[in-house]
Amino acid sequence: MIRTRAEKEELEQRTLASYAQKAGASAGRAHPEPAHPHRTAYERDRARIIHSRAFRRLEYKTQVFLNGTGDHLRTRLTHTIEVASISRTIARALGLNEDLAETIALAHDLGHSPFGHSGEEMLDGLMRGHGGFEHNTQSLRIVELIEQKYPRFPGLNLSWEVREGLHKHAKFYDPPTARAEGDTFHNPSLEAQIANLADEITYYSHDLDDGLDFHLITPEQLAEQAAWHQSYEEVRGHFPDLTGRELHGYVIRCIIDRQVQDVIATSAGLIEAAGVQSADEVRRQPGPLIRYSEPLLLANRALRKFLYANLYYHPRVAEANQRACGLLRDVFEAYLAKPALLGDSTARRVASDGLQRTVCDYLSGMTDRYLLEEHARLFLTAA
């Protein structure tokens, strides 16, 4: 039996919660296109993201540790896949649109620069006075302008709800672009809120995992962290013979499971208390309805502070990232001095976007590996 798009949309109407964002009620695309016979709008968006060049490049972009420094360390791509998985789990438990939540999750880091957050900070500094650089905003720029796959329009022409989710991922408390004159929305869909929180659950937990695996942090340092301690004691109680990586890996698994269950239970209560009956009623709420419980919120804030103090700025991480960012600065300045290095297709955007923004777009799209190769081509061959 062939299931049509219309049948899938009708199934969503029957099975999803009233406040879920249904594909059949999408506000559409900036450039109108005929509906697909078999795929819903969000299924189509998901495919466009997965088949984009920006998505493929995530495999070779740093998460925390420079790409290539360890076979089991996470990259920006593996992080993205993990966020999408958690997003689907939470959305399904709450009766929401899994396809939309997953699609936003898959697109949320498309705009990340090479060399992780250190690279982002470097680009932001280089762009001071020219609009700055922020990877969430760049993700929107990629899907709306930079990706070139279709002859009739720039970007990927994603549905309004996916772009809304990316906009709100950038500035979670700023109203997104209105669908029409008179719209006043303070939040995105619940599906977008899920992708935002799933991102946080993923990178805190898995950065812990990588930090322990790389011996930059120790279980002894984590003993006072409530987010770690509760799961650690639970695992030790059930599996007293577990040690080393096996112990730490299972603790991380339990931390993720505990966080996901907390978000599901807390959010279900908030949704019921708010009495929302539609996706737009969600958008008009004064604050997000997808949240942690207060104890877990406080525990995660403490964990975030710990990770910044002990992992993200650990000398072994920071020194390697800073050296790499120096190379990024060199290439940025070389392109400014000689725009012809950008290549014809990129250089054509200078007239409309300005030289600095065009250079920034080009550099931010590079993988760690390509940036290193480009630096060698520009400077080592010249020497």
Q: What is the residue extent of each domain of the chain?
A: 5-27+39-110+134-314
The H-or-E segment that residue 70 falls in is none
Average pLDDT over residues 74-103: 96
User: Collapsing DSSP states into helix, strand and coil, what is residue 265?
Assistant: helix
Buried b (16+ CB within 10 A) or exposed e, 303-342: bbebbeeebbebeebeebbeebbebbeebbebbeeeeebb
In the predicted structure, residue 343 carries a pLDDT above the cut 90: no
pLDDT value, residue 381: 64
pLDDT, tens digit (0-9, with 9 covering 90-100), for 107-136: 999 999 998 888 999 999 999 999 999 999
Q: What is the pLDDT of residue 180?
A: 55
Q: Tell me, what's the pLDDT at 178?
A: 55
Residues 357 and 138: beta-carbon distance below 8 Å: no
Mean pLDDT of 159-188: 71
Among residues 55, 54, 53, 61, the alpha carbon closest in space to that of 114 is found at 61
With a CB cutoff of 8 Å and minimum separation 6, the contacts of 111 are 54, 135, 136, 137, 138, 139, 140, 141, 142, 364
- The model's pLDDT over 208-242, given as tens digits with 9 standing for 90+, comes to 988 898 888 999 999 999 999 999 999 999 999 99
Which of 26-40, 138-152, 164-178, 328-342 bottoms out in mean pLDDT, i.e. has the lowest? 164-178
Provide the β-strand partners of residue 155: 148
Report the percent of the chain where pLDDT is more than 90: 75
pLDDT band for position 175 (cuts 50, 70, 90):
very low
Reported as a single tens digit per residue, the pLDDT across 274-286 is: 999 999 999 999 9
CA-based end-to-end distance of the chain: 65
CA 308, CA 321: separation in Å to the nearest integer? Answer: 14
Question: What b/e string do you get for 115-132 counting C-beta neighbours within 10 Å, with b at 16 or more?
Answer: bbebbbebbbebbeeeee
pLDDT class of 300 with cuts at 50, 70, 90: very high
Mean pLDDT to the nearest integer, 78-82: 94
Confidence of residue 321 (pLDDT cuts 50, 70, 90): confident
What is the fold of 5-27+39-110+134-314? Answer: Hypothetical protein af1432 (1.10.3210)
Mean pLDDT of the chain: 90
Tens digit of each residue's pLDDT (9 = 90 or more) over 44-61: 999 999 999 999 999 988
pLDDT higher than 70, residue 315: yes
Q: Would the pLDDT of 72 be above 60?
A: no
Using the 8-state DSSP alphabet, how is residue 9 labeled? Answer: H
Residue 128 is predicted with a pLDDT of 96
Model confidence band, residue 298 (pLDDT cutoffs 50, 70, 90): very high
> Among 130-144, 288-302, 303-317, whose mean pLDDT is lowest?
303-317
Q: For position 169, what pLDDT does the model report? A: 57
Report whether 104 contacts 166 (CB < 8 A): yes
Give residue-wise pLDDT tens across range 352-362.
Answer: 999 999 999 99
By mean pLDDT, which of 20-34, 75-89, 105-119, 158-172 is the weakest?
Answer: 158-172
Q: Helix, strand, coil % (nearest 5) of the chain?
A: 65, 0, 35
pTM over the 0.95 mark: no
Q: How confident is the model at residue 206 (pLDDT cuts 50, 70, 90)?
A: confident
8 A C-beta contact, residue 324 and residue 115 = yes
